[in-house]
Amino acid sequence: MSIKGLKKTIAFLLVFLRLSRIDSCILTSLTVFLPIFYHTNSLRIGISEAIPILPIMMCGFVANDINDIEKDSVNHPNRPLPSKEVSVIVAVVLYFVLLSISLILIKTNIQGILIIHYIVFLIGIINYNYIVEYFPWIKNFYVATIGIAPILIAIESSGLSIVYYCLAISFALFILGREILMDVHDAEGDSDSLALRFGKQKSIRLAFVIQSIGLAILIPLCSNVQKACLLGILILVTIIFVKMWKEESYQHSIIMTMKLQMFLGLFFLT
C-alpha cells in the first residue's frame, strides 16, 4: 500500500471511530468486562461477555447519526455525516456490517439465559430512532431503560446478590437525568422532547433531582469507607455541576464528564 493509500485508510478509520462514538462504546464494554473479571478472575469470561457490547453500541450510534443528519446539522455540525466526511451510503453499509458482527459475537460468545439480555439490548439500541420519531417525549425513559442492560449483564454474570440491583436503578436514574440535560442543551435542533414540553428551567431542575435520587439509592451499597467516600465525591461533583450548568459554555463538558461519573459507579460492584 502506498503512503497516500495508507493516509486515506487511517483518515477513514478515524472518521469511522468518531461516527461510532468509540469512547462511549469502550466505556460501556468495560462496564461489563470489569465487574465480571473482578468477580470471576477469568480474563476469558470477561472478554467474551464484554466484546459483543462493542459492535452493538457502535451499530446504534451509526444508526442514530444516519437518522439525525438534519438535527445534527444544527446541534452537532462537526459530526462525520453532517460535515460530509462520510456518505450516508457508506454509513448504512457500516451499520449492517456492525449489526452482523454483533449477532455473530452473541452467537459465538454468549450462552444460556444471558443471550436474552444481549438480544434485548441489541433490539433496543437499533430501535431507538423509531422511538425518537414516533414517541420523542419518552425517548429519555427509553434510553435509561435500555442503558442499564450492560449493568444487569455484569450483575447476573458475576452472580451478585439482589442488593446490587440498586446500582442498576441508580444508573437508570442517572442516565435519565443526563438525557434530559442533553435535550436541554440540544433544544434548538429538536422538534419535540421532554425538555421542550417541560421548559428548560424545569427540565434542568428535574434532571438534577433525578440524578440526586439515583445517588441516594447507592447508600445500601456503601459497605466500606472507600465506597462511602466515593459516594460523597459523586454527590459533591453533582452539586458543582448544578452551579456550573448556568454557564452555557460548560454544559457540553458537564454532559461528557457525567460518563466518567457513571463509570466510577462500577466500584460499587466490587
What pLDDT is attached to residue 189? 54
How does the average pLDDT of the chain come out, rounded? 89
Cell 452551579 maps to which residue? 243
Burial per residue of 57-82, b for 16 or more beta-carbon CB atoms within 10 angstroms, e otherwise: bbbbbbbbbbbbeebbeebbeebbbb
- Average pLDDT of the segment spanning 40-63: 94
Q: How many residues does the chain have?
A: 270
Distance CA 254, CA 184 (A): 13
pLDDT in tens, 93-109: 999 999 999 999 999 99
pLDDT in tens, 153-199: 999 988 888 889 999 999 999 999 999 998 887 766 555 666 666 77
Q: Dihedral sign, CA of 6, 9, 11, 13?
A: negative
Query: 1-154: which CATH topology?
Result: Tetracycline Repressor; domain 2 (1.10.357)
Higher pLDDT, 242 or 248: 242
pLDDT in tens, 109-128: 998 888 999 999 999 998 88
What pLDDT is attached to residue 35? 93
What's this model's pTM, rounded to 2 decimal places? 0.85
- Average pLDDT of the segment spanning 34-45: 93
Range in 39-43, 78-82, 96-100 with the lowest mean pLDDT: 78-82
Q: Which CATH class is domain 161-270?
A: mainly alpha
- What are the residue ranges of CATH 1.10.357.140 in the chain? 1-154
Reference 128, options 171, 66, 174, 85; nearest CA is 66
Question: pLDDT band at residue 1, thresholds of 50, 70 and 90?
Answer: low
Long-range contacts of 182-188 (CB under 8 A, 24+ apart): 182/255, 183/140, 184/251, 185/251, 185/252, 185/255, 186/71, 186/75, 186/76, 188/74, 188/75
What pLDDT is attached to residue 69? 84
What pLDDT is attached to residue 188? 61
Range in 63-67, 71-75, 207-211 with the lowest mean pLDDT: 71-75
Residues 6+ apart with CB under 8 A from 120: 149
Residues 6+ apart with CB under 8 A from 94: 16, 19, 20, 62
CB count within 10 Å of CB 166 equals 16
Residue 109 sits at φ, ψ, to 5 deg, of -115, -20
- What are the residue ranges of CATH 1.20.120 in the chain? 161-270
